[in-house]
Structure 1
């Protein structure tokens, strides 16, 4: 006797992330977002239509999207769908017809609102600036401007199209499939396209008055840099002396980490006193102007562009693995210091080991299990980098850099875990590294190291570290 087929069931309101269990949604997998917006800086009013192309991963009767703004209509597979709100950021959508596992989903959401008035996760991630706005944040930002399956484990490609008043720029990720187009009296539409898989929080929007420089790399990739016109002359010169070297830095990082994984590169320097951090937004990091308050700072450029490999291409499977992003990007700064003869990685390690007090968070927090409160703390950044340096010392440069390049290549465009990295390191080196990783990643106390400069004397900071530490707190977004 044949068993009756089970009835379709609702997708879940989260993917079950240990730290953020209700972020993202189960029941479907997104392949593409088409985000079409109109934004007026004077009123902060945003109207939009986002079309989501996805595939059901189960027999699906209902699905959730992460979103905060007011929704006027939802259509699923060309039929009106009903929708309601549950909790803080869940938009619950019931299609007119269930969707079978493996079936295509075309979800069209129309919406409007004033993003700066919306509160989610206890704060407002959307930032108004004197001449526009910034949609830049981690781990939450999509909720304020487009509906999504908001978790790094569900990457997609993107089209972002934004209509803004004439004379205002609207900048996002990837390439421009067409130049800005005057579409109505007083408004111009800007279009951007991301060709490679991209996490929702890495998708950004910067609206305002920006000066733009464009170029191409030796390999023909477009370089697009933007500088807020509100920057003072001293900040502007220092920012340009840093961000205009992006292509050079990416070329160097490609020799260390393997081929650059994306279709474009560049950077955005935001208006003063608006953004309080830098973020590795895919293909085009965003930088607070404060990084350049003491002059040029190529270390933050090296950090955010190292993320293009570690964090953007190779993304976390869950947020608790965030050291895989920040430890690698921080260690890239150490390698950039070595490359420029401004202090070796060992000198930087010795300096940090000696100067952090024994009861500091870096030692009382395990990088591989930092908890939500320390997700962007010193243990994730600096102790993450220190872990990589200890691995380098243990296995030697040849194996270490093979591990790094193999990690970037085999996990390209995917999602990864700490356990997978440890397994790869042991496979390539042929060594049992359990004790090393247990001490540096999983134990909430200061590891004991062999005799180092740090133990013999009170080390001075390497020359480069003055620049790095000046912006240190800003990096912990």
Structure 2
């Protein structure tokens, strides 16, 4: 049934155009800058993508295709972390200077296409400013290698009860362990090579590669070749117990249980059934492996559960409800990711409603009845309806409204357009934007197209308003019963 996320979880130009003088002056300045080897304004990658909520997140001027992250970490020395990351990218413009995002650490070396950078600077909370020895030309593919070390910083480093560490978080986490273009709009493959003392195990995203051991150290490799959104990356180091199996179609399932966690065999046994349900509902599973990472943090604020790509992370244990939600994110949020942070509904609204769909299919839950009861209980509660589901505000990008009312909205949409069109829409959406980025307004347009009807009033009332939706949007079809 529906539950609150908190409850459950140009000779004449001079005369004609006086601005021409300024254009000439600017051209002279730019030309002089080039002669002096300085960066011209047009050849500087921006220090942020201009996200409405996090304007300094990400960077402009290039698209990343792959991260190769090599790290060394000894849990017995938690203040010492060593990283060596190579960023493969394509230049969208000429670049005399560009930025990466990295939080903390001392940067010891930076090369661009194997040549030491002319200058490296740090600014702001996470900007790594790189001036290459020579201009990176628009359209070229280039590689940036960064060596760094020091004490890990940031709230995304979670100390585990057994002495290990887990690096997860939303909206930010990846900047705390490797340099990157930290915005959901620039997704890239991630290859991790992590070396730890031999008694420890490293779990990451994607498929495991070969492990190697030497001089009491063990190196683990994890390869996620599908594009990954930055906050869905993870690295967990613990003395894991790993259960490996396969789905009916051969997809590897890797469930890793850290120290002081609870193994629930019945919940683990449900994963194949959950995956079959999700695949039937949303279309083919978008990735090459699945499973879970279960850890026991020393201290957390709320649940640590997060849809880390291919292998969601859970705090202490996982149940069918949490697994359904986080695995649904593999379609909604991981494969189809935000365009910007106003679009949280394309992840959370769907993942939350998927829990209701599972309850309906598995337990016969009456979602119409549950919907009517929740709406009735909030008719006079103005605060419940006050936060818009789309663009909820920069201080609350993942507000509870996306979960509670987002699920209600999707059920109302289902009753408005009918089951066949609704579930067809979900599969159309996940297929059309597979491995890419999308926006909530884009979903509204696709919904209207697939439904063959004008849904502008419905979405204005449900997603863009800060008051209770009027009739008939509040109680369409069977919801009037």
**Same fold by TM-score, threshold 0.5 exceeded?**
yes
Q: Is the 8 A contact 2:415 2:479 kept in 1?
A: no
Unaligned runs of 5+ in 1: 457-477
SS of 1:340's equivalent? Answer: helix
Q: Is the 8 A contact 1:354 1:455 kept in 2?
A: no
Q: Is the 8 A contact 2:96 2:131 kept in 1?
A: yes
SS of 1:374's equivalent? Answer: coil
TM (norm. structure 1) is 0.87
Please give the residue correspondences for 1:414-425 in structure 2 after superposition, counting only pairs within 5 Å.
Answer: 414-425=436-447
How many residues are matched? 437
State the Cα distance separating 1:357 from its structure 2 match.
Answer: 7.1
State the Cα distance separating 1:319 from its structure 2 match.
Answer: 0.7
Q: Is the 8 A contact 2:379 2:468 kept in 1?
A: no
SS of 2:223's equivalent? Answer: strand
What's 1:227 paired with?
257
State the Cα distance separating 1:444 from its structure 2 match.
Answer: 0.7
Quick check: 350-359 or 55-64, which moved more?
350-359
Q: Is the 8 A contact 1:175 1:194 kept in 2?
A: yes
State the Cα distance separating 1:273 from its structure 2 match.
Answer: 4.7
State the Cα distance separating 1:396 from its structure 2 match.
Answer: 0.4
State the Cα distance separating 1:177 from its structure 2 match.
Answer: 2.1
Q: Is the 8 A contact 1:225 1:244 kept in 2?
A: no
Please give the residue correspondences for 1:422-441 in structure 2 after superposition, counting only pairs within 5 Å.
Answer: 422-441=444-463
State the Cα distance separating 1:380 from its structure 2 match.
Answer: 1.0
Quick check: 374-383 or 433-442, which moved more?
374-383
Q: Deviations over 1:217-255 (max 9, x none)?
A: 111111100112212xxx333xx4224422221111100
What's 2:110 paired with?
74
Determine the C-alpha separation between the residues in 1 that align with 2:425 and 2:476.
Answer: 26
Determine the C-alpha separation between the residues in 2 that align with 1:425 and 1:357.
Answer: 27
Q: Is the 8 A contact 1:351 1:454 kept in 2?
A: no
What's 1:175 paired with?
207
What's 1:385 paired with?
407
Paired residue for 2:304, among 277, 280, 283?
277
Q: Deviations over 1:385-423 (max 9, x none)?
A: 111111111100011011110000001111111111111
Paired residue for 1:136, among 149, 168, 176?
168
SS of 1:245's equivalent? Answer: helix
- Indicate yes or no: 2:12 matched with 1:15: no
Unaligned runs of 5+ in 2: 1-9, 11-23, 32-39
- Indicate yes or no: 2:468 matched with 1:442: no
SS of 1:74's equivalent? Answer: strand
What's 2:59 paired with?
25
User: Which protein is bigger by CA-based radius of gyration?
Assistant: 2
Determine the C-alpha separation between the residues in 2 that align with 1:14 and 1:394.
Answer: 40
What's 1:89 paired with?
126
Determine the C-alpha separation between the residues in 1 that align with 2:243 and 2:180.
Answer: 31
State the Cα distance separating 1:342 from its structure 2 match.
Answer: 4.4
- Indicate yes or no: 2:184 matched with 1:147: no
| Gap change, CA 1:26 and 1:377, over 3 Å in 2 | same
Runs of 4 or more above 3 Å deviation: 3-8, 272-275, 354-362, 451-456
Q: Is the 8 A contact 1:361 1:378 kept in 2?
A: no
State the Cα distance separating 1:367 from its structure 2 match.
Answer: 0.5
Please give the residue correspondences for 1:246-325 in structure 2 after superposition, counting only pairs within 5 Å.
Answer: 246-271=271-296, 273-275=298-300, 276-289=303-316, 297-325=319-347
SS of 1:160's equivalent? Answer: strand
Determine the C-alpha separation between the residues in 2 that align with 1:362 and 1:282.
Answer: 31
Determine the C-alpha separation between the residues in 1 that align with 2:147 and 2:476.
Answer: 62
RMSD after superposition: 2.1
What's 1:470 paired with?
none
Q: Is the 8 A contact 2:349 2:407 kept in 1?
A: yes
State the Cα distance separating 1:262 from its structure 2 match.
Answer: 0.4
Determine the C-alpha separation between the residues in 1 that align with 2:298 and 2:377.
Answer: 30
Paired residue for 1:101, among 138, 156, 160?
138
State the Cα distance separating 1:452 from its structure 2 match.
Answer: 9.8
Q: Deviations over 1:428-467 (max 9, x none)?
A: 11100011101110001122423899999xxxxxxxxxxx
TM (norm. structure 2) is 0.87
State the Cα distance separating 1:344 from its structure 2 match.
Answer: 2.6
SS of 1:61's equivalent? Answer: coil
What's 1:400 paired with?
422
Determine the C-alpha separation between the residues in 2 that align with 1:170 and 1:288.
Answer: 17
Determine the C-alpha separation between the residues in 1 that align with 2:100 and 2:477.
Answer: 52
